[in-house]
Each structure stands twice: as structure tokens, then as C-alpha cells.
């Protein structure tokens, strides 16, 4: 999860092999820690959900960047598996989710992550292991996604059981190009002598570049605005945290491998810049990053003109007045003028009215569902704008990781 082996020592204190191991064993390394912390924090989550602390007082918990990276990867797989059974289902139409459940959509057992986590891991592995010039390579990433799609590499069950329509189209373009070029499969390539093997790898790489050009041409329209590239982009922000401008640029390029639309690229760039900032500040106790800072990042973000849907969804009704920097004044402005803050305020009122005491049966379900607006007020479809807005709302409306995980899992959609 870096620019490649040539840049890992600059970005993070791990060798390429160690960093790859970090990525692929994140869940195993963190499970014991997270299980204990989840049990210890449920009471905190229960009490916190009944109060509405100002965003400016809710700060990032300081920790080494390595800890943040491990837990970010773990959280991706955990939340993906937790919410997968509710995928494709209308909000409030399914039983409350608080534990891992079997995924009836694909006849899978409990705790199975989906294509989102598999592609995130594929991107992470590419960033960690690609050794070519520059370290970041779209052709290598496209190949990694195809290996997941065709061979089940990094799938939780050894095969691809679901894939987004735009990703399927993009990988179909690459498959057709490989067939036309008569490229050998990776398994066939491994049996070649060294010189022939390198020649075949270069042929496959050239084919990937040709496919990327067609993907950029054919899939850049507004009709290809799915959330696939946003759901996998986390490793870019983790790896490029010390290079904010580079992180945003690489996020756009990462999106374009399958989702070249302007809205998808802009969403990935903004999200990645935020992730990078959080990682940079993770072990800097003197730099207090609050939830208000995160809200301001998206509300004041310079959205490009061709991604106006994101500006309309995430900007405040009125811009922050020049010279207003006091956190209390900034939060007061957004409370009055930002649509997500108005939703948050309404949800808090509903939570106070609807939430039973902590000991009542069904209290956890009531506390979790109380802040959930209607689907009309907060869509959670596969459209990239809906996904980004819903994720930000869950972040703002809850005070613990556990509460946020349950809220998003029970959104459905």
C-alpha cells in the first residue's frame, strides 16, 4: 500500500514484504484487539448515542499511523461483512443487524466480505508490491482486479460472487483485449522460460494499457457513476498520507481504471485527501483533528465543475463567511446551513424521543434506528454521490465506531 517498493521506506516504516503482510493479515492481527475493545465500548456507545456533543469537541483518537492503517483495513472488511446481508434491501424492511449474519443474497455464511473489500485488498497489494518506475500503475491494478474476478484472488470464499455493473464492463473490456491479443494466462506465463516470461508480461501490460484507454473513452459518462472505485480507494489515502496532492491525483487515477466518470474521480479524490489528513495527524497529539474539520473539508471542498452533483450534495446552503475561524462559530454556521447537520439535529430529537433506557429489550435496535432518516432524505443506493453523503452522515451522527458501523449496516440499499 504505497507507491511501490521504491517508495515504501519514504512513506511508512515498513519494507515491501512486511507491508504486504500487514495488508493481507490485518484482520488476523487486529481481531483480538477489536473484540476486546468492542465489548468494552458498547456501554460507551449506548450512552453516547443519547447525547449530541458538538462536532468540534469530538477529536481523532491519537495512535501510531501503523495502528490506524491496521484498523482502517480491518474496519473495511468488518463493516462490509456486517452490512452485506442488508444489501439491495429497502431501509427498515429487514430485521435489525447487530451481529454477523448469513448473506441470503448469495447463500453465504456469516462474516463474508464482498467485492468491495476484495478490490480494496487487490489495490492495496498492487500499491505495496509494484516495483516499476513511480510505484503506482493502473495496468497492474487492472490485472489485480481481473485476477479477483476470474480466479477469486483475495475473495473471502475463493471466487467472485458479486461485481458492480461498471466494474464488470471495465474488466470485460480488458478480457476482450487479452483475447484479441492472444495473451497467455498468468498460470501459463509462469511455466515459460525467463526471457519468454518477461516478453509475455510486457505483452499483457501493453494490452492492459490499451484496455484502459478504451475504458476511459467508453465508461466516462454520467451513467457510470457507481460507487465501486470509492469503496476500494482507502489504501491510496493510507499509503500517500504524507503527500496530499499526490494522494488526490493517485485517487483519481485509481478510480479511472474502472470508473473514469468525473463524479467518481472527484469523490475518490476528496475522500482520499481526508483519509490522508487523518493518518498524518494520527500520532501528532498536538494536532487535534475534530469531526468539524472533516465536515468543513467536504463542505468547502473545491469540487470541479464536471462533478457538480457532489457540490450540491455536500456544500452548505451559504458559504462560510470570510474571517470566521472560531470553531464554535464555524459549527454554528454549518448547523444552520448544512443539510447533513440539519438531518443530524432532527435525528437527535428523534433519538431522545424514541430511545428506551439502556436495559430495555430492543434498546440497541431503537438507539441505532432512531438517527436513521428516511430513504428519501438520505438515499443509500449504489450511486457514488449517495454513498459518500450517507457515509459522512453516519460519521457525523454517531460518536463511536460501533455505533457508526451499526448505523451504516442498517441503512440497507
Q: In this model, does residue 43 exceed pLDDT 60?
A: no
Cell of 48: 453516547
Predicted confidence at residue 134, as pLDDT, reads 62
Q: Is 346 left (phi over 0), alpha (psi -120 to 50) or beta?
A: alpha
Q: Residue ranges of the domains in the chain?
A: 8-409
Predicted confidence at residue 357, as pLDDT, reads 57
- What is the band of 37 on the pLDDT scale with cuts at 50, 70, 90? very low
What is the Cα–Cα distance from 365 to 356, expressed in whole angstroms? 10
Q: For 290, phi and psi rounded to 5 degrees?
A: -110, 170
Mean pLDDT of the 15-25 span: 38
Annotated binding site for Mg(2+): 114-116
What is the Cα–Cα distance from 16 to 312, expressed in whole angstroms? 41
- Reported as a single tens digit per residue, the pLDDT across 283-320 is 765 577 899 999 999 999 999 999 999 999 999 999 99
Predicted confidence at residue 4, as pLDDT, reads 27
> Kindly report the CA angle at 290 between 79 and 358, in degrees rounded to 5?
55
Q: pLDDT exceeding 90 applies to what percent of the chain?
A: 67
Predicted confidence at residue 244, as pLDDT, reads 86
Mean pLDDT of the 311-340 span: 96
pLDDT, mean over the chain: 85
Annotated binding site: 114-116
- Reported as a single tens digit per residue, the pLDDT across 231-264 is 999 999 999 998 988 999 999 999 999 999 999 9
Lowest-confidence range among 13-22, 143-152, 381-390? Answer: 13-22
Taking the model in full, what pTM does it have? Answer: 0.86
Query: Is 174:210 a contact under the CB 8 Å cutoff?
Result: no
Q: In this model, does residue 28 exceed pLDDT 50?
A: no
SS (H, E, C) 300-323: CCCCCHHHHHHHHHHCCCCCCCCC
Cell of 74: 480491518
Predicted confidence at residue 186, as pLDDT, reads 83
Partners of residue 383 on adjacent β-strands = 226
Residue 108, classed as helix, strand or coil, is strand
Predicted confidence at residue 3, as pLDDT, reads 30
Q: In this model, does residue 405 exceed pLDDT 80?
A: yes
Mean pLDDT of the 319-339 span: 96
What is the Cα–Cα distance from 115 to 149, expressed in whole angstroms? 9
Name the fold adopted by 8-409.
ADP-ribosylglycohydrolase fold (1.10.4080)
Amino acid at each position: 500500500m504505497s507507491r511501490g517498493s521504491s517508495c515504501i521506506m519514504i512513506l511508512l516504516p515498513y519494507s515491501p514484504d512486511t507491508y504486504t503482510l500487514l495488508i493481507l493479515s490485518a484482520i488476523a492481527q487486529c481481531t483480538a484487539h477489536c473484540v476486546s475493545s468492542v465489548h468494552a465500548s458498547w456501554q460507551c456507545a449506548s450512552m453516547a448515542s443519547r447525547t449530541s456533543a458538538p462536532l468540534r469537541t469530538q477529536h481523532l483518537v491519537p495512535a501510531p499511523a501503523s495502528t490506524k492503517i491496521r484498523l482502517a483495513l480491518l474496519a473495511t472488511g468488518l463493516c462490509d461483512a456486517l452490512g452485506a446481508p442488508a444489501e439491495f434491501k429497502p431501509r427498515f424492511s429487514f430485521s435489525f443487524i447487530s451481529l454477523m449474519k448469513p448473506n441470503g443474497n448469495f447463500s453465504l455464511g456469516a462474516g463474508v466480505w464482498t467485492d468491495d473489500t476484495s478490490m480494496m485488498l487487490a489495490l492495496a497489494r498492487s500499491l505495496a508490491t509494484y516495483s516499476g518506475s513511480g510505484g503506482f500503475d493502473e495496468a497492474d491494478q487492472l490485472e489485480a482486479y481481473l485476477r479477483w474476478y476470474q480466479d477469486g484472488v483475495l475473495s473471502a470464499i475463493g471466487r467472485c460472487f458479486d461485481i458492480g455493473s461498471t466494474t464488470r464492463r471495465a474488466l470485460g473490456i480488458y478480457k476482450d483485449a487479452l483475447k484479441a491479443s492472444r495473451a497467455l494466462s498468468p498460470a501459463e506465463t509462469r511455466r515459460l522460460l525467463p526471457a519468454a516470461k518477461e516478453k509475455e508480461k510486457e505483452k499483457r501490460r501493453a494490452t492492459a494499457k490499451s484496455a484502459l484507454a478504451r475504458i476511459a473513452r467508453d465508461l466516462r459518462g454520467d451513467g457510470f457513476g457507481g460507487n465501486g472505485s470509492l469503496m476500494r480507494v482507502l489504501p491510496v489515502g493510507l499509503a500517500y498520507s504524507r503527500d496530499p496532492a499526490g494522494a488526490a491525483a493517485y485517487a483519481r487515477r485509481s478510480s479511472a481504471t474502472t470508473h473514469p466518470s468525473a463524479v467518481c474521480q472527484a469523490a475518490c479524490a476528496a475522500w482520499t485527501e481526508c483519509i490522508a489528513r487523518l493518518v498524518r495527524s494520527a500520532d501528532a497529539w498536538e494536532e487535534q483533528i475534530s469531526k468539524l474539520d472533516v465536515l468543513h473539508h467536504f463542505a468547502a471542498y473545491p469540487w470541479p465543475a464536471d462533478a457538480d452533483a457532489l457540490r450540491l450534495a455536500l456544500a452548505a446552503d451559504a458559504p462560510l463567511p470570510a474571517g470566521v475561524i472560531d470553531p464554535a462559530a464555524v459549527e454554528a454556521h454549518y448547523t444552520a446551513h448544512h443539510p447533513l447537520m440539519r438531518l443530524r439535529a432532527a435525528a437527535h430529537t428523534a433519538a431522545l424521543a424514541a430511545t428506551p433506557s439502556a436495559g430495555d429489550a430492543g434498546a440497541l435496535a431503537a438507539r441505532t434506528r432512531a438517527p436513521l432518516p428516511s430513504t428519501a432524505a438520505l438515499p443509500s443506493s449504489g450511486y457514488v454521490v449517495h454513498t459518500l453523503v450517507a457515509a459522512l452522515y453516519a460519521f457525523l451522527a454517531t460518536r463511536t465506531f460501533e455505533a457508526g458501523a451499526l448505523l451504516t449496516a442498517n441503512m440497507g440499499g
